[in-house]
Structure 1
Amino acid sequence: MKGLKTLLFVLAIFTFNIHSAQDETDTEELSLDKGSIDSQFDYIYKKSGNYRADGKRYEVVRIISLDKLRKNVLDSLNASYKKEAELNATIAGHEATISSLNKKLEETTNNLASVTEQKDSMSFLGILVSKGTYNFILWTIIAGLLLLFLLFVYKFRRSNTLTQEAKTALSEVEVEYEDHRRRALEREQKISRQLQDEINKYKKSK
């Protein structure tokens, strides 16, 4: 019984190969040379023969087609591996570029922060202080100098007033002194005349 089934299977395969050998070879080569791996598997499945033995279904595929499909699968895998390697190299290059750009960005940010700090700060006695603090110190010094100037002006005017008052008082004293000296001189002259008159009278009385 098994020998009969095997004989029928061989005859079916032989008959199938005789009728479609030439056309199948041409279309198979074209189909296995084009399209995706999935479509090539579909092609192999559609072009395969089938039979049943012991209640099981079997597919009959040409060895040359399997070899071609195997080669195509390996070629696809190798192309995928090559593409993956190229993509990994590209990704690594992009990561290196991104890392370099991030480093430059960090340096630029630090430089910008430093420039901004220098722009917003000023040197005072060799110390870097903020503009607000610098302005506060500057206006405090200006206010102090202004107060000192006003105090000096006040003292000067006060001294000038006192000097003028002293000069006026001195002038008054000098006037009084001259008047007193003049009166004293007049009294002295009067007394001298009176004394001389008395002396003259005394001499005449003798």
Structure 2
Amino acid sequence: MRIALLVEGIGEFKALPRLIPSLEHRSGQTLLQPVQLNVHPLAPPNVIASSLAKKMQILEQRRADQAVLLLDREDAEECPGTRAEQVATAIAKHPKITLPVQVVLKDRTLENWLIADLTALRTQPGRFKVTEALTKRVEPDKADRLAAIDLLQSASIGRTYHKVDDAVEICARLDPARAARHSRSFRHLLHVLGDSTFDAGCRRPPDGLPVAQAHAVRGPFQ
């Protein structure tokens, strides 16, 4: 299966290629290089669908069998599953979109997925300082919903956190299995891509790690 990754942020567009090999290894799928949409992640579903439709020629040229659209949840209070379903419905109704498309919401941004694997930061000791306080904020299974960009900024050494350059370096070191232990929305990505670890769903982390209490108020992903 050839799966196209659709993104709306420059950070994802630049950084996710460094993560693709490990995602392919876990899913057994062929993941195509990201295609960037010119749309705001909180735009109305029909606007997002129209932006995606403009990229259909690229997806056809790359012989994609299906696509996964990654969107930031940002500060929206709407249940991620509800928002994803609304966007997916608008996409399915668009006459020019001929591929099946699944929608995954990052909760709340790419940085939440990055901070879910603190080991990827620890391997850059000259760039990030991972304190005990930071670890307690993120683990276990609490990376979603945090103000992740602020935490990465506080952990940065020497210069301001860069949303593209640092994301690229973190993704090059990020282990999907580690990130999945601490981000439910990242587990949902693995589930959608076909990672057999999450065949039964993605609510619970692997290895029986307890679900953080903060997740109890959230509706299930669709």
Structure number, greater radius of gyration = 1
Could you say which TM-score interval applies, normalised by the shorter chain?
A: under 0.3
TM-score between both structures, scaled by the size of structure 1: 0.19
Higher relative contact order (CA 8 A, sep 6+): 2
